Homo-oligomer: A and B are copies of this chain.
Amino acid sequence: MNKLTPSPCELCDSAGGDTLWRDELCRVVLVGDRDYPGFCRVILNRHVSEMTDLDAATRQRLMRVVFAAEQALRQLLLPEKINLASLGNMVAHLHWHVIPRFGDDKHFPGSVWGAAHRPGTPRPIDRAALQRSLHTLLQAVAE
């Protein structure tokens, strides 16, 4: 991966999850969160901190991938809500969290970064179906 900073960065040094899709700009990975099996991240392939460090066209391309991940997860899991977030306080390498949320999940209606409200009811993810859906939706982005 293209590493522009001398400091170690786990998203420069590793895929950051189980890669479902990738192009030159970014990749979509399954995080492998036990409580949130459908939790995906869209990770920029370059070490950049903020969306406004990218030009407008590149921002738009990245967001199309984020929204494709949202769409694929919605179609597959019918979640109560999708949570989207680009925080990066700990790893300042652009990555978007795309998290399908359910009324009986561990933190609902709080954020997944807050206090747990219950043990949670993880829903297994059909990885192959998610990957197929993503590839179909992102084919349109590439064209």
Contacts and interface: CB of A to CB of B under 8 A. Distances in A.
Interface of A: 49-52, 56, 59-60, 63-64, 67, 70-71, 74, 80-90, 92, 101, 108-111, 113-115
Given A83-B89, A85-B87, A114-B114, 4 more contacts: A52-B67, A52-B71, A60-B60, A83-B88
Contacts of A88: 81, 83
A133 to B, nearest CB: 12
Contact of A82 (B50, B56, B80, B101): B50
A119 B101 CA distance: 30
B85 A84 contact: yes
Nearest to A81: B89
Contacts of A90: 109
Copies in the complex: 2
A90 B81 CA distance: 10
A110 B89 contact: yes
8 contacts: A49-B81, A52-B70, A52-B74, A60-B63, A81-B87, A90-B109, A110-B113, A113-B113
A82 B49 CA distance: 9
Contacts of A111: 85, 87, 89, 111, 113-114
A51 B98 CA distance: 12
